[in-house]
């Protein structure tokens, strides 16, 4: 597989025109900090070994017959009555050897391509949300109009590196829904795409749409990941039919499958962070093993999305100290098995308030400290993912852009040390009109998207709006100024006959 | 000086009663992560050397005659006409050798004492605010009632390690104000205290109040830092009369003086982060040098509080990528000169909204990444410090408590790995009633202070309150349940005659 250029060189960066194009620097990011952990190295080895013991002695319940067959052929002990699969550590270790360490993520716009490997950093928006909310229309079940709008919002910010299913279009019948979501992603955006694994037929039709719409040969399609999916295990220790099928279908097609147990400590996982990590690690390793047994070298990623529940109510909590610890531990485990990995932001808040901000920022800093390769749900999640909030999305983008700014290397030049400016300004004076300031003032600093820096008087006179209220204007403006990507019409034209024919043929019902 | 115990041992921690007392673990914190930087080591050396060149060739304007005399005696080139002091690097290096690396921060309650050294972590509340705001009384000029209330709020959260002047009591005449603020801190709290340097007479009277109120001998008073101050230089390159006096008075009394240039890049400092750091570093080194020339070994700390301004309006910005970079660079410089140091949170927002949360959290994570020893303005700051917000304080406390949770070491035990629980629960089951969960559910997770984890329906029925609105109830409850610390009455009785006599004598007007 081809390696996509990793980073703009410094010279290139300095030569770029600035102001309007500052966000172009946000496209291919690499982590700026050293990876941080929470557990000792010994503790990580213990978690890894305990996970192997779980797979060996307790096993996973694998609902799909074909998946159990693949495990059996690979050497697992399989019981077709209780559907349990017990796999030895040598099988897991073999899978970890063939799983690729660097995966090209493709997009129709070459400038949106990304390399997915330890050290790179991608942000994906809040996804999987059945509802949307904004200050214009309130909270409502997601519909296709919302899906289109959210894709347009994702497309409009360079710091969003991959599309996500922010709004579930429930007004489209399930057997036709994948046509609509793929069509929208392919014509309204030029970024890497996402697809749910809801049965083999839907998945294969979506792959076919990519080949047709982007006019790709089979070889071109297989040369990199044009679309990725997330496979959630049913914690504890179960893999259901569409998820098992998804692992196999994506592996065979050379498209990225991210195995993400969703382990909430105290509910579907043990109450200790260490124990929840054991379960998460075991389930992720089982999924990775199935992928590599299906096709050695297939693109697959380690995933972790863990937090805790409120033990009084059982409600999932996000952005908690426990989520931070799980994220840091997951990064340590991913580096231990030397695979790129997926993490997540998140928020339990019901509204775009300080709670929502704190939760997402705690979670996001954890992913940056832990060096996640891709961070899902990094913008817009509310109610633990039950709702995608437009105004929260805009406020979260401010955080993501701040992280992207930190990914830019320091200038590290003699000029930056500012001797001539320091020499010019008298004690107690100011630097507003030094030559250095005059040369740099237009682009010296990050320009806020929604933060208001005016003083209390000016802010009050302007209506005393919160950043949530201001964010309403921001997303309205973004949508008003949205422009279709190049080749949108052409791609749409190529897809039309395929969609019509498959729709007429009854579509592809999702598999449960 | 005595070294205060640094951390509870693991055994001790596990034996402690939990639930209500969880926050006792938040008292003496040590940083959990490795310190992170933003600049290369070479860049840090260049900044340090350029700062020395600034002090040597450009110099500092020192308004106070006695301070210039001390510099002159120490070997500086002093011009008593233009008040400029040029100091060679050997003077600065000598000061860095005598400045203490570990300073005991004292409190009347021994369990509130802290060691101030690289690696420890203290949070101080938003301070220096002329106004207060809350949902009950709105925004108003700070008064003594607000000062008392905010001290009670600081006292009520173990994660606040040092008092700060959150509300300026403007209803008390300036020459008597220090009696009121010291009396309130000493009788309403048992935590380490803060004092403004507003002239020698006020400072010495405050020291005397501590000796009288806490019944300390001169030796006991001088054995550690009972009260600390912050000296802000007048950037660029000026030290005014009360600030210069403060450095000398605190040094002579063995009380901690934190030298903090407030360098806003593009305004009172160069527009580049590196250049702003050069200026900050030069000014801080000059202050440290004055402290050590006054009394070698006197407790003094390196301070940095830098951000940028909005170049369109000149308004200060907080929590920006530039503030994060400056904080990380400041930590690198502090470690380079091997001194404990002060950093800051901050927020420019006019209201406790998502902007306020993002700004403070970005700034706070930077201080944690940079391993600041004390973080000022960590809770409650609004409008760049012009207002202390009660509801913002409560929401920020949630963040500080989350950091304090991350300072607790992982359990790292066989039990935490949860084998018996994993074995008990069938695939697709849940862990709610395993023995492990039942034994631990009461204290497994951090309990939110203001975050609401209920679902959208329940939250809506309960009034659909934002976390800012809920925070109102929280601080009202905290104040309603506030209890005076031990010995409060006794301390107050001892202070009364002194305050009366000095008040009758006309007080001590502040020096400008």
- The rounded distance, in Å, linking the Cα atoms of A108 and A213 is 10
CB-based contact B491:B161 (threshold 8 Å) = no
What is the predicted pLDDT for the residue at B21? 78
Helix axes B354-369, B390-406, angle to 10 degrees: 30
pLDDT tens, position by position, A457-497: 999 999 999 999 999 999 999 999 999 999 999 999 999 99
Q: Which two tokens stand for residue A287?
A: 């999924």
Asked if A463 is an interface residue toward chain B (Cβ–Cβ < 8 A), one would say no
pTM of the model: 0.95
By CB atoms closer than 10 A (0-12, 13-18, 19+), residue B154 is buried
Running DSSP on this structure, what letter comes out for residue A191? S
Confirm or reject contact between B148 and chain A (CB < 8 A): no
Residue among A63, A354, A415, A475 with most chain B CBs within 10 A, to mutate = A354
B259/A contact by beta carbon, under 8 A: no
A 10 A CB-CB count for B433 gives 11
CA distances from B181 to B48, B175, B206, B212, B492 (A): 38, 12, 9, 15, 13
DSSP three-state, residue B134: strand
| A371-405 pLDDT per residue, tens | 999 999 999 999 999 999 999 999 999 999 999 99
pLDDT score at B384: 97
Q: Are A260 and A303 in contact (CB under 8 A)?
A: yes
Q: Which residues of B touch A316 (CB under 8 A)?
A: 453
Domain spans of chain A, in order of start: 10-35+96-406
Which of A414, A445, A271 has the alpha carbon at shortest distance from B441?
Answer: A271
Contact A340, A30 (CB under 8 A): no
Residue A16 has pLDDT above 50, yes or no: no
- Report whether pLDDT(A179) > 80: yes
HSE at residue A316, side-chain half, CA atoms within 13 A, is 22
Contact at CB, B456 and A350, closer than 8 angstroms: yes
- Rounded to an integer, the average pLDDT of A233-238 is 97
pLDDT tops 50 at residue B116: yes
Q: Is the model's pLDDT at B475 over the cut of 50?
A: yes
* Cβ neighbours of B421 in A, within 8 Å: 270-271, 275
- A101 vs chain B: nearest CA distance in angstroms? 26
pLDDT at A477: 97
B-chain residues within 8 Å CB-CB of A468? 353-354
Q: Return residues 173-232 of A near B (CB < 8 Å).
A: none
The full DSSP string for B188-228 is: H--S-EE-----HHHHHHHHHHHHHHTT--HHHHHTSBSEE
CA distance B491 to chain A (A): 39
Contacts of residue A29 in chain B, CB cutoff 8 Å? Answer: none
pLDDT value of position B4: 42
Calculate mean pLDDT across residues B145-172. 98
For chain B positions 16-35, those within 8 Å of chain A (CB to CB) are: 32-34
Q: How many CB atoms lie within 10 A of CB B43?
A: 21
DSSP B510: P
pLDDT surpasses 70 at B141: yes
Which element (helix H / strand E) includes B237? none
Where residue A20 falls among pLDDT bands split at 50, 70, 90?
low
The CA radius of gyration of chain B, in Å to the nearest whole number, is: 24
- Determine the distance in angstroms separating the CA of A490 from the nearest CA of chain B, rounded to an integer: 40
Nearest by Cα to A123 from A408, A482, A479, A404: A404
Contact between A455 and B353 using a beta-carbon 8 Å cutoff: no
Percent of chain A with pLDDT over 90: 95
Report whether A126 contacts A381 (CB < 8 A).
yes
For A:366-425, CB contacts with B below 8 A are: 369, 383, 386-387, 392, 395, 398-399, 402, 405-406, 410-412, 415-419, 421-423, 425
Within 10 angstroms of residue A78's Cβ, the number of other Cβ atoms is 20
Kindly state the percentage of chain A with pLDDT values over 70: 96
Chain A touched by B437 (CB under 8 Å): yes
Q: What angle do CA A29, A418, A412 make, to 5 degrees?
A: 30
- Rounded Cα distance between B69 and B118, Å, is 32
pLDDT band for A412, please (50, 70, 90 cuts).
confident
Residue A512: predicted pLDDT = 85
CA distance B64 to B84: 11
Is the separation of the CB atoms in B364 and B375 below 8 Å?
yes
Write the residue in A422, A425, A448 that is nearest to B278 by C-beta: A422
Q: Does B359 touch chain A (CB under 8 A)?
A: yes
Rounded to whole angstroms, the Cα distance separating A377 from A125 reads: 5
Distance CA B243, CA A472 (A): 46
pLDDT given at position B287: 98
What pLDDT does B18 receive? 36
Q: Average the pLDDT over A277-306 and give the result.
A: 98
Min distance B381 CA to chain A CA atoms (Å): 13
Least confident of A413-422, A474-483, B2-11, B22-31: B2-11
A373 in Cβ contact with A122 (< 8 Å): yes
CA distance linking residue B232 with residue A495, whole number of Å: 65
Interface contact A438, partner B, CB < 8 A? no
Would you say residue B355 has pLDDT above 90? Answer: yes
Chain A residue with Cα closest to B397: A358
Contact B286, B71 (CB under 8 A): no
| Among candidate residues A371, A375, A275, A333, the one with its CA nearest the CA of residue A96 | A333
Judge whether residue A232 has pLDDT over 70: yes
- Phi, psi torsion values for A261, nearest 5 degrees: -60, 145
Give yes or no for a contact between B4 and B104, defined as CB atoms under 8 angstroms apart.
Answer: yes
Contact A316, A265 (CB under 8 A): no
Nearest-CA distance A278 → chain B (Å): 7
Greatest CA span in chain A, whole angstroms?
A: 85
pLDDT of residue B512: 85
Question: How crowded is residue A484: how many other Cβ atoms within 10 Å of its Cβ?
Answer: 14
Rounded Cα gap, residues A146 and B343, in angstroms: 43
According to DSSP, residue B385 is labeled: G
User: A266–B53: do the CB atoms touch at under 8 Å?
Assistant: no
Tokens 């173990």 — which residue? B158
Binary contact (B268, A430; C-beta < 8 A): yes
**A236 cis-preceded (ω within 30 degrees of 0):** yes
Distance separating alpha carbons of residues A334 and A96, to the nearest angstrom: 11
Give the minimum alpha-carbon distance from A383 to chain B in angstroms, rounded to a whole number: 7
Structural contact between residues B62 and B362, judged by C-beta atoms closer than 8 angstroms: no
**pLDDT beyond 60 at B7:** no
The CB-side HSE value for B65 (13 A sphere, CA atoms) comes to 1
Say yes or no: B349 contacts chain A, CB-CB below 8 A. Answer: yes
The bridge status of strand B120-123 relative to strand B381-382 is: unpaired
Report the gap between the CA of A360 and the closest CA in chain B (Å): 9
Q: Are the CB atoms for A103 and A118 separated by under 8 Å?
A: no
Q: From the CA of A346, how many Å to the nearest CA of chain B?
A: 13
Please report which residue ranges of B338-466 form alpha helices under DSSP H.
354-369, 390-406, 419-424, 435-440, 456-461
Q: How confident is the model at residue B412 (pLDDT cuts 50, 70, 90)?
A: confident
* Environment class of B17 (CB within 10 Å of its CB; exposed 0-12, middle 13-18, buried 19+): exposed
Q: What is the mean pLDDT of chain A?
A: 95
Answer whether the bond into residue B236 is a cis peptide, omega within 30°: yes
Q: Which CATH superfamily is domain A10-35+96-406 in?
A: Trimethylamine methyltransferase-like (3.20.20.480)
> With bands split at pLDDT 50, 70 and 90, how would you rate the model's confidence at A17?
very low
Asked if A228 contacts A162 with a C-beta cutoff of 8 angstroms, the reply is yes
Task: Judge: A452–B355 Cβ closer than 8 Å, yes or no.
Answer: yes
User: What ipTM does the predicted assembly reach?
Assistant: 0.95
Q: B203 CA to chain A: closest CA distance, Å?
A: 25
**Alpha carbon distance B214, B228 (integer Å):** 16
Please check the confidence at residue A94 and state whether its pLDDT lies above 60: yes
Candidates B53, B131, B270, B279: best to mutate against A (most CBs of A within 10 A) is: B270
Residue corresponding to tokens 């001390």:
B70
Instruction: Please classify residue A253 by burial: count the beta carbons closer than 10 Å to its beta carbon, then call 0-12 exposed, 13-18 middle and 19+ buried.
Output: buried
Model pLDDT, residue B8: 37
| Secondary structure class of A61 (helix, strand, coil) | strand
Place of tokens 């913002």: B392
Size of interface A-B (CB pairs under 8 A): 382
Between CA A38 and CA B135 the distance in angstroms is 39
CA distance A68 to A79: 9
Please answer yes or no on whether B273 and A410 come within 8 Å at the CB atom: yes
Q: pLDDT value at position B19?
A: 40
Tens digit of each residue's pLDDT (9 = 90 or more) over B43-102:
999 999 999 999 999 999 999 999 999 999 999 999 999 999 999 999 999 999 999 999
Q: Given an 8 Å threshold on Cβ–Cβ distance, is A358 in contact with B395?
A: yes
In angstroms, the separation between the Cα of residue B218 and the nearest Cα of chain A is 38
User: Is residue B12 scored above 80 in pLDDT?
Assistant: no
Averaged pLDDT for residues A109-126? 98
**pLDDT band for position B16 (cuts 50, 70, 90):** very low
- CA-nearest residue of chain B to A447? B310
Residues of chain B contacting A460 with CB distance shorter than 8 Å = 350
The answer to whether A190 and A242 are in contact (CB under 8 A) is no
């Amino acid at each position: 597989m081809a390696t996509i250029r990793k980073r703009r060189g410094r010279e290139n960066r300095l030569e770029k025109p600035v102001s309007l194009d500052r966000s172009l620097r946000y496209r291919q990011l690499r982590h700026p900090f050293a990876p941080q952990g929470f557990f000792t190295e010994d503790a990580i080895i213990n978690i890894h070994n305990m996970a192997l013991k779980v797979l060996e002695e307790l096993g996973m319940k694998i609902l799909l017959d074909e998946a159990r067959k693949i495990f059996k052929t690979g050497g697992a002990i399989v019981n077709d009555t209780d559907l349990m699969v017990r796999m030895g550590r040598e099988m897991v270790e073999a899978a970890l050897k063939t799983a690729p360490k660097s995966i090209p993520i493709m997009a129709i716009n070459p400038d949106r391509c990304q390399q997915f490997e330890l050290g790179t950093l991608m942000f994906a928006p809040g996804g999987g949300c059945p509802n949307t909310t904004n200050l214009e229309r309130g909270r409502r079940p997601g519909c296709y109009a919302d899906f289109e709008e959210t894709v347009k919002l994702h497309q409009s910010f360079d710091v969003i590196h991959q599309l996500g299913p922010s709004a579930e279009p429930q007004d489209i019948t399930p057997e036709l829904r994948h046509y609509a979501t793929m069509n929208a992603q392919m014509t309204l955006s030029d970024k890497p795409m996402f697809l749910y694994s809801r049965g083999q037929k839907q998945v294969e039709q979506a792959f076919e749409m990519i080949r047709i719409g982007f006019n790709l040969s089979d070889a071109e399609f297989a040369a990199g990941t044009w679309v990725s999916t997330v496979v959630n295990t049913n914690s504890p220790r179960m893999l259901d039919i569409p998820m098992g099928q998804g692992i196999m279908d994506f592996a065979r097609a050379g498209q990225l499958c991210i195995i993400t147990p969703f382990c909430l400590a105290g509910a579907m996982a043990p109450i200790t962070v260490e124990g929840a990590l054991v379960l998460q690690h075991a389930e992720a390793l089982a999924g990775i093993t199935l992928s590599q047994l299906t096709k050695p070298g297939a693109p697959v990623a380690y995933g972790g999305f863990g937090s805790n529940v409120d033990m009084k109510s059982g409600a999932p909590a996000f952005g908690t100290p426990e989520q931070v610890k799980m994220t840091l531990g997951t990064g340590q485990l991913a580096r231990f098995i030397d695979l790129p990995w997926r993490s997540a932001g998140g928020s339990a808040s019901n509204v775009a308030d300080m709670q929502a901000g704190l939760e997402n920022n705690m979670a996001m800093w954890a992913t940056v400290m832990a060096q996640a390769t891709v961070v899902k749900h990094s913008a817009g999640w509310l109610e633990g993912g039950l709702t995608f909030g437009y105004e929260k999305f805009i406020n979260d983008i401010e955080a993501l852009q701040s992280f992207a700014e930190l990914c830019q290397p320091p200038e590290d030049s003699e000029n930056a040390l500012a001797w001539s400016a320091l020499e010019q300004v008298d004690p107690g004076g100011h630097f507003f009109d030094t030559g250095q300031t005059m040369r740099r003032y237009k682009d010296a600093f990050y320009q806020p998207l929604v933060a208001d820096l005016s003083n209390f008087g000016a802010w009050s006179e302007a209506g005393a709006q919160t950043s949530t209220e201001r964010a309403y204007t921001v997303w309205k403006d973004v949508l008003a100024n949205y422009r279709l990507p190049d080749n949108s019409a052409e791609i749409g034209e190529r897809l039309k006959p395929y969609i019509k024919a498959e729709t007429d043929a009854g579509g592809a019902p999702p598999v449960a």
